[in-house]
Structure 1
Amino acid sequence: MGLDAVKAALPEYAKDIRLNLGSTITTSTLKPEQAWGTALACAVAARNPVVLREIAGEAAGHLTPEAVEAAKGAATIMAMNNVYYRAKHLIGDEQYASLPARLRMQIIARPGVEKVDFELWSLAVSAITGCGVCLESHEKTLRAAGFSRDQVHEALRIASVVHAAAVALDAEAALA
């Protein structure tokens, strides 16, 4: 099933999303593990059960068990970090920047996959949740590690389409 099941479930008004869903993931210039890890992390972040179940099922064929756990870990750690760092930034008081987070983030240091892959997945999740501070930080880390703008762009494309599929399916479920 996988992507085909998600595409089949999308309503006609989401035809563009249906067309983009397969092409952004399956023809990505990212390595398959990077593309599927991005898709899985974004599916977790997007929170739609159909999107998550189907992408997780198909991603399992492209990812090691460790990468599956790391992609889910990227989504969940960024769920916490995106709220925390975005809030500190939006408050606008520079003194908050000097306060330590005192939040456990050990998975970032030891994600169980290549650190750059975890960074890529964290960047994509940060795009979905809208944390500019985290987007800037992860993009800077990726670029310093040798990732091109095109590679970062690929992750953003996957994030946008996975999220849009989740939005459409959530809307249809709510209106049913």
Structure 2
Amino acid sequence: MSETTEVINELLTGFGLNDSYRTSSLELLEAGESRYLRDLKVNFNSILTSEHLSAKEIALIAISVSVNNHNKPLIAYFTQMAQQNEATAEEIAEATACASLLSSNNIFYRFRHFTQKEKYSQIPARIRMQIMVKPVTGKEFFELMSLAVSAVNGCEMCVNAHEDSLIKLGTTEERIFDTVRIASLITATGKIIF
């Protein structure tokens, strides 16, 4: 067995997937004996710890990003991690709901930002967002999940608004930075494991 295949098998085992599981991306990396797989493994492992976020918070952010990215293996992995770190079914559901809500908001507000037309800012959005008013996970943490999804979806207006809200709520820049770092690495992993 090649070193590349060994690294793939270690990754798959970590996700609870069978050694024979392959995506087209994994097949290409394996055929080319890509050194990137070692980076991917190290990067993924760095998602699992933070000096500024608890394991439960990491798992919930990861669920939200994984749902946003339609990644079944990662959703399953991080749901299990969340449960092992005492996340409730309601908190896991809220992380899932956050991904859905923010996807609509990111499209809508990105459109407003792109067009820069005052008229579109005057028309009511008519997007119901009651979950944001009193989130189960708390306002600060819901803002962190919202920031993560918005960063992945590339909505500048939303990223700025959520980051500003977090700063006003007293969140440290290190906590914000770790959230976005985790979102970026989950998205990168999801390009290979899906």
Tell me how many residue pairs correspond in the alignment: 170
Does structure 2 retain, via aligned residues, the 8 Å contact 1:17–1:165? yes
The reply on whether 1:75 has 2:85 as its aligned counterpart is no
1:149–1:108 distance in 2 versus 1, CA, 3 Å = same
Alignment counterpart, residue 4 of structure 1, candidates 14, 17, 21: 14
The reply on whether 1:39 has 2:62 as its aligned counterpart is yes
1:147–1:97 distance in 2 versus 1, CA, 3 Å = same
CA distance in 1, matches of 2:106, 2:98: 11
CA distance in 1, matches of 2:56, 2:143: 13
**2:115 equivalent in structure 1:** 91
**1:119 equivalent in structure 2:** 143
Give 2:14's aligned amino acid: D
Deviation at 1:60, TM superposition (A): 2.0
Task: From the two aligned structures, give the one with the greater helix fraction.
Answer: 1
CA distance in 2, matches of 1:3, 1:60: 19
Deviation at 1:2, TM superposition (A): 9.4
CA distance in 1, matches of 2:182, 2:112: 27
Deviation at 1:28, TM superposition (A): 4.4
Mean Cα deviation higher: 15-24 or 66-75: 15-24
CA distance in 2, matches of 1:28, 1:161: 17
CA distance in 1, matches of 2:78, 2:121: 37
CA distance in 2, matches of 1:4, 1:110: 35
Does structure 2 retain, via aligned residues, the 8 Å contact 1:143–1:149? yes
Alignment counterpart, residue 108 of structure 1, candidates 106, 129, 132: 132
* SS, match of residue 15 in structure 2: helix
* SS, match of residue 104 in structure 1: coil
| Bigger RCO (CA 8 Å, 6+ sep) | 1
1:2–1:35 distance in 2 versus 1, CA, 3 Å = farther
RMSD of equivalent CA atoms: 2.3
Q: Greater Rg, structure 1 or structure 2?
A: 2
Does structure 1 retain, via aligned residues, the 8 Å contact 2:144–2:176? yes
Q: Provide the TM-score with structure 1 as the length reference.
A: 0.86
CA distance in 2, matches of 1:22, 1:135: 25
**1:174 equivalent in structure 2:** none
Structure 1 segments unaligned to the other structure (5+ residues) = 171-176
Mean Cα deviation higher: 132-141 or 88-97: 88-97
The reply on whether 1:153 has 2:163 as its aligned counterpart is no
The reply on whether 1:131 has 2:141 as its aligned counterpart is no
Structure 2 segments unaligned to the other structure (5+ residues) = 1-10
Does structure 2 retain, via aligned residues, the 8 Å contact 1:2–1:55? no
